[in-house]
Structure 1
């Protein structure tokens, strides 16, 4: 529900406030505060302002990365150092984030997560504590960011189901994600998603009811995002643990390292990117034999969507790729049973190999999957989408192709690049290109590229099929 308050001029109502952070952030150094206030290109204020406004508009149903600032052009945030700790000063902040003059507790906590993650990552990078040129170093960076966010919980049996899926889904699909979340919650599973609306919200919403019925406390509804996405996909109100990773690659690695199994609901190019990321890793020879339950599921009217995905994956990566996932249509209980069984195998494997329950160290994630991909026009044209490559390498470049389309659809820098230079061009083996073009056209026809209600979708890409 969108509860935006409107003032007498017809514009969204705003308030000015000085708040005390709620948990998880006690003190900052003078240098950290100065960097958060620095509005220069090397400062952090722009990033802080963008992420903070996304949190303060939590629950908004939008995928326009510039829409928030069009509604709240005068919004500003300052972190103030005081004798007894820090204060957060908000100017022209969305009034919807407040009740009777007090900021909503959950929004306060998410705001603290924004400050915490921005400060921590920038400090670690500035001090050279992260080795970003080495695969082990990149995994270490992901671990340290999650640990600093207090997301990793030792001495808990594997129970974290990661749910992927689109922000632009039909009402039937959304209700189905709630039903699956409900069945997972009845079986004491926690939920982790990309933190936005649609398929990222539904499983959490269903799980909250089930957890309440089971009188289960200390439930985890983890949202993992990154700066390029959060402006277009504000955290949904159920998220109680938010972490902002530096880029999409570290976000994806965090899902895979933390999760004990993954459920994929219907989605668009972002969901296809996530699927290819995980399958590329599971197809790597070093990961043979490592259990990782992966379930594709949706209501009956979404069966054709998964048929299209399944067909594209087999054509691109070979029929044997289907050994790594199971498709279950219109059966939330069967999904929950399959996930519980899969997680039990994960638990036994971790015990046998003395691997941690809270972080999957043994999974080999190649450097090609970890290095940030900047979706420029040149980079998109240079993707080597050819069948003569090892399957995991082909999957890596297919993932990058979808990542570029995500950027062109909803990330501010991607939208600007398309406006300036026109659509991205994607080329490769003719058969794969035809299948890719067919899949993307289906996404457009099914309104999976953008949320409905705005202008007609204009593709940010051109697949070279001739």
Structure 2
């Protein structure tokens, strides 16, 4: 049975109200070089907040008759939605959160595809230009808040987690909220929603009226992880690399909950950066945490990291099991260290300019069969490059699991092949098998997981 839909004319809410004729024409352009398809996909995703799916292609297929049109007005513009999902409305009025997210999508897509700075940076990418791109997108979205002390905790973890794991992430968020800390996540369900939901209660108890729940996503992932309704500041970065850089530039510390390949990608990205010699003295609190039943999970993650990156990598994080209060206290103390360091370095509280990010972590990685097969997964390279290449392997698996383009490539040509040194590949394969066994690759209740990858060990 088809779900009911609604046609509506929607006014802007909080982001973008005027566009140039050139921008309007690009958003209307349905050709390959136009922006209509991208805008439609992201708009549909934010209108499906709360829907249980992690397959972008399935979402697009289920709403193949959805359309979004720009309607110029004497005082600005409106969006005309055709066959929009009914759950984005109440009494035929769009929910305010959905409306905010919808115009955040419009704001970020227009900005990242019209600025000469971005066009030049994409043609001739240089590290400083890519970091400036991240800064300008965040500033344009008004998430960089001067005058605030360091308080932004980035929370990573799986979208496919158990109810008990979700409750734990919510309690951690509650403890963070009681300490008046803000939350930034990938904006989706599961361990991305739990900390935000918990923090809202903590903030209410402390009468925090400007609680921040920032969601950072990108077009390839938003269809599989639609923004949860608690997000009150949504940013759509152009690709996964800029999304990851936004997390570490904007955030003052990171908490990692149990997750799957996407979480592993984030961990390797973060550790690869923190292991750079230029970052050795930069305070950046990192905590891995979960319930008592997750102790084995984090032992597996810790063992994988120590094998791949060495014991020095393990010094950059602390594992705290079944103790939300201690997690929150650790983050609060970490914020004080960050504040002291930033003041001494005369670095901004709102954007971590001092952090050195090697270009290998910034340049977009295109997960296709040739690039996945060619990954340099061996030990004859600096440790941060091992982290970078392992990160790309996980990024490719994420694409094959949930991103529309990656799913299509796997369906057309079979699983991505990942090959390399057995000392790296065998532990990787064992961890992936555990992710599958623990249902961390697909949401519970959805279709059975079919691997998007094949591991090949080089002798």
TM-score bracket for this pair, using the shorter chain length: over 0.9
Does residue 101 of structure 1 match 2:72? Answer: no
Match of 2:154 among 162, 170, 179: 162
Match of 1:15 among 6, 9, 25: 6
CA distance in 1: counterparts of 2:346 and 2:383, whole angstroms: 29
The DSSP-based 3-state class of the residue aligned with 1:181 is helix
Match of 1:303 among 272, 295, 302: 295
TM-superposed deviation, 1:129 = 5.2
Does residue 48 of structure 1 match 2:34? Answer: no
The DSSP-based 3-state class of the residue aligned with 1:243 is strand
Residue 270 of structure 2 is matched in structure 1 by 278
- Which blocks of at least 5 consecutive residues in structure 2 are unaligned? none
Match of 1:181 among 162, 173, 177: 173
Does residue 372 of structure 1 match 2:364? Answer: yes
Does residue 232 of structure 1 match 2:205? Answer: no
Deviations 1:60-100 (A, max 9, x none): 12101122223222110011222110011000101111111
Runs of 4+ in 1 over 6 A off after TM superposition: none
Instruction: Answer yes or no: is the 8 Å Cα contact 2:416–2:452 preserved in 1.
Output: yes
Instruction: Answer yes or no: is the 8 Å Cα contact 1:249–1:372 preserved in 2.
Output: yes
For normalisation by structure 1, the TM-score amounts to: 0.96
The DSSP-based 3-state class of the residue aligned with 1:436 is helix
Deviations 1:137-162 (A, max 9, x none): 00000000000011100000000000
The DSSP-based 3-state class of the residue aligned with 1:93 is strand
CA distance in 2: counterparts of 1:45 and 1:160, whole angstroms: 34
CA distance in 1: counterparts of 2:310 and 2:235, whole angstroms: 35
TM-superposed deviation, 1:126 = 8.2
TM-superposed deviation, 1:321 = 1.1
Rate the CA distance shift 1:24–1:456 in 2: closer, same or farther, 3 A. closer
Deviations 1:415-436 (A, max 9, x none): 1111111111111111111111
Match of 2:315 among 323, 332, 335: 323
CA distance in 2: counterparts of 1:47 and 1:261, whole angstroms: 32
Does residue 72 of structure 1 match 2:63? Answer: yes
- Which blocks of at least 5 consecutive residues in structure 1 are unaligned? 1-9
CA distance in 1: counterparts of 2:7 and 2:238, whole angstroms: 29
Residue 118 of structure 1 is matched in structure 2 by 109
Task: For 1:355-394, list aligned pairs within 5 A.
Answer: 355-394=347-386
CA distance in 2: counterparts of 1:244 and 1:25, whole angstroms: 14
Residue 214 of structure 1 is matched in structure 2 by 206
TM-superposed deviation, 1:197 = 0.3
CA distance in 2: counterparts of 1:365 and 1:375, whole angstroms: 21
Moved more, 177-186 or 446-455: 446-455
Instruction: Answer yes or no: is the 8 Å Cα contact 1:184–1:207 preserved in 2.
Output: yes
Cα RMSD after superposing both structures: 1.1
TM-superposed deviation, 1:271 = 0.2
Does residue 141 of structure 1 match 2:138? Answer: no
Does residue 254 of structure 1 match 2:246? Answer: yes
Instruction: Answer yes or no: is the 8 Å Cα contact 2:112–2:118 preserved in 1.
Output: no
Match of 1:437 among 424, 429, 440: 429
Instruction: Answer yes or no: is the 8 Å Cα contact 2:53–2:446 preserved in 1.
Output: no
Instruction: Answer yes or no: is the 8 Å Cα contact 2:289–2:322 preserved in 1.
Output: yes
CA distance in 2: counterparts of 1:139 and 1:47, whole angstroms: 23
TM-superposed deviation, 1:255 = 0.1
TM-superposed deviation, 1:458 = 1.4
